[in-house]
Amino acid sequence: MTERISIGQLYPNAVSPASTRRTPVQQPVSTSDNPTFQKLFQEQFVRFSHHAEVRLKERGIQLKPEQLNKLSNAIDKVAAKGAKDALMILGGNALIVNVPNRIVVTALDGNSMSEHVFTQIDSAIIIS
């Protein structure tokens, strides 16, 4: 026997199969077509920054569920127009919203709004 046998080789002259079967490679699903749960969750709800929560408490502003729904719809409208930071007037209160992240950045009541200059916003909406 002059044939060389390697470790792990049971038969020295084993016949290889005639053809190998290839399974088609599946392409990963694009995330742009199927958004993740977290992205859908963030797109549906309005969030409040810590600063906004403090301002709401300080100024005694309480938003009802129907007001939050109106706010969410308003964010959708200004987002469709390409807004980044918006001033939203809701029930006599002013809210500054970061539109892409759907985060209320700060809040002012009617008394705090008088003669107040709003800067660094690119859109405004009055929610009735």
pLDDT in tens, 15-41: 555 555 555 656 555 555 666 655 555
User: Exposed (0-12), middle (13-18) or buried (19+): which is 67, by Cβ within 10 Å?
Assistant: middle
Rounded CA gap, 70 and 63, in Å? Answer: 10
pLDDT in tens, 69-123: 999 999 999 999 999 999 999 989 999 999 999 999 999 999 888 888 999 999 9
Q: What tokens does 67 get?
A: 């007001």
